[in-house]
Amino acid sequence: MFLFRRNGPRVTVDEARSRTSGDRPDAVLLDVREKPEWNSGHAPGAVHVPLTKLVVGATLPAEAEGRPLVVICRSGHRSQQAAKLLAERGAQAVDVEGGMNAWAAAGHPVVDERGNSGQIA
């Protein structure tokens, strides 16, 4: 299922959605973009912790603790950093190739902070 690259395991947006959606998802979608980006548009059901906070030691929200993580950002760069950092802390983490740009381009849903149709900023 994983595509292994020099920087660690990556998944496609379709794999990410499959792993993190439905009644019993096997992983948590962790969005590591900054708050204004999150507010503008994110995947429904995603959990938010900006990379800047993870770097300084922020913990994961309860719903993500001890669960496999599928990490996403806008384009895939920050999520690679976050997945590596989280793996070093003992988490099972992969990042999403192409990030939220690829997610939206694939036609997957995007919602804003109020749950309305969102956009990627």
Enzyme catalytic residues: 73
Residue 2: Cβ within 10 Å count: 10
* Distance from chain centroid for Cα 75: 11
Asked if residues 82 and 30 have their Cβ atoms less than 8 Å apart, the reply is yes
Asked if residues 96 and 70 have their Cβ atoms less than 8 Å apart, the reply is yes
- How much of the chain is in helix, strand and coil states, percent to nearest 5? 30, 20, 50
